[in-house]
Amino acid sequence: MLEERAFSIKKRFLAMYKRANAGHIGSSLSCAEILTFLRVGWMRDGDTLVLSKGHAAAALYALLAELGQLTEAELDSFCQDGTRLSALPPFNAIEQIPFATGSLGHGLSVSAGMALGAKLDRHDRRFFCVTSDGELDEGSVWEAALFIAHRKLENLVWVIDRNRIQGIGRTEEVMALEPLDAKLRAFGYHVVVADGHDFPGLLAAREECRRALDSGGAPIAIIANTFKGNGVSYMRDTVDSHYLPMSDEGYARAIDEVTRAHAAALNGYRNAG
Amino acid sequence: MLALFEQRRDLVFITADLGYMALERIRDTYGERFVNAGVAEQNAVSLAAGLARAGQLPWVYSMAVFTVLRPYEQIRTDVCLHRLPVKLVGNGGGYGYGIMGATHHALEDVGAMRVLPNLRIYVPLTASDVAAVVFEMAADPLPNYLRLNAPAAIPGGVPPFAPWRKLKRGRSSVVIGMGPVLQGLYDMGSQDLLDELEIWSAGVFPLAELPAELATSIREKRRVVVIEEHYAACGLADALSHRLLTSGTIPGSLTCLNAAGYPSGRYGSQAFHQRENGLSGPTLVSRLEAVLRA
On the CB side of B270, CA atoms within 13 Å amount to: 19
The model's pLDDT over B61-85, given as tens digits with 9 standing for 90+, comes to: 999 999 999 999 999 999 999 999 9
Query: Which of B176, B162, B173 has the alpha carbon at shortest distance from B237?
Result: B176
Tell me if B49 and A146 make a contact (CB, 8 A cut-off).
Answer: no
Tell me if A113 and B53 make a contact (CB, 8 A cut-off).
Answer: yes
Burial class of residue A130 (count of CB atoms within 10 Å of its CB; 0-12, 13-18, 19+): buried
Average pLDDT, chain B: 97
Q: Cβ of A147 under 8 Å from any chain B Cβ? A: yes
Q: H helices within chain B, ranges in order? A: 2-7, 24-30, 41-53, 64-68, 72-74, 109-114, 127-139, 183-186, 191-196, 212-221, 236-246, 270-276, 281-293
B212-215 long-range CB contacts below 8 Å, 24 or more apart?
B213/B166, B214/B164, B214/B166, B214/B174, B214/B176, B215/B247, B215/B249
Pairing of strands A48-51, A127-132: parallel
- Nearest-by-CA chain A residue for B49: A110
CB A2 within 8 A of CB A199: yes
Chain A positions touching B58 (Cβ under 8 A) are 113
Q: How far is CA B287 from CA A215, B199, B226, in A?
A: 71, 16, 12
Tell me if A110 and B77 make a contact (CB, 8 A cut-off).
Answer: no
The model's pLDDT over A110-146, given as tens digits with 9 standing for 90+, comes to: 999 999 999 999 999 999 999 999 999 999 999 999 9
Burial class of residue B3 (count of CB atoms within 10 Å of its CB; 0-12, 13-18, 19+): exposed
**B161: three-class secondary structure by DSSP:** coil
> Taking 70 as the threshold, does the pLDDT of residue A273 lie above it?
no
Tell me if A110 and B53 make a contact (CB, 8 A cut-off).
Answer: yes
Query: Which of B89, B99, B213 has the alpha carbon at shortest distance from B149?
Result: B89
Q: Which CATH class is domain A2-272?
A: alpha beta
What residues contact B282, with CB distance under 8 A and at least 6 apart?
A: B275
Chain B positions touching A121 (Cβ under 8 A) are 54-56
Residues of B with CB under 8 A from a CB of A: 12, 32-33, 35, 37-38, 40, 42-43, 45-56, 58, 73-74, 77-78, 81-83
The model's pLDDT over B214-268, given as tens digits with 9 standing for 90+, comes to: 999 999 999 999 999 999 999 999 999 999 999 999 999 999 999 999 999 999 9
Structure confidence at residue B239 (pLDDT) = 98
Query: Which of A39, A103, A92 has the alpha carbon at shortest distance from A68?
Result: A39
Query: Which of A212, A213, A189, A209 has the alpha carbon at shortest distance from A201?
Result: A209
CB A107 within 8 A of CB A137: no
Structure confidence at residue A72 (pLDDT) = 95
Task: Find the length of chain A.
Answer: 273
Tell me if A113 and B52 make a contact (CB, 8 A cut-off).
Answer: yes
Per-residue pLDDT of chain B (294 residues; tens, 9 = 90+): 999 999 999 999 999 999 988 999 999 999 999 999 999 999 999 999 999 999 999 999 999 999 999 999 999 999 999 999 999 999 999 999 999 999 999 999 999 999 999 999 999 999 999 999 999 999 999 999 999 999 999 999 999 999 999 999 999 999 999 999 999 999 999 999 999 999 999 999 999 999 999 999 999 999 999 999 999 999 999 999 999 999 999 999 999 999 999 999 999 999 999 999 999 999 999 999 999 998
The model's pLDDT over A189-245, given as tens digits with 9 standing for 90+, comes to: 999 999 999 999 999 999 999 999 988 889 999 999 999 999 999 999 999 999 999
Residue type, B184: G
- Nearest-by-CA chain A residue for B75: A106
Burial class of residue A197 (count of CB atoms within 10 Å of its CB; 0-12, 13-18, 19+): buried
Whether the bond into B206 is cis, omega within 30 of 0 = yes
- Write down all domains in chain B, each with its CATH number in brackets: 2-147 (3.40.50.970), 164-293 (3.40.50.920)
What residues contact A173, with CB distance under 8 A and at least 6 apart?
A: none
B258 vs B274: CA distance, rounded Å: 10
- ipTM of the predicted structure? 0.96
Q: How far is CA B255 from CA A109, B178, B248, B249, B251, in A?
A: 44, 15, 18, 15, 10
Q: Cβ of A2 under 8 Å from any chain B Cβ? A: no
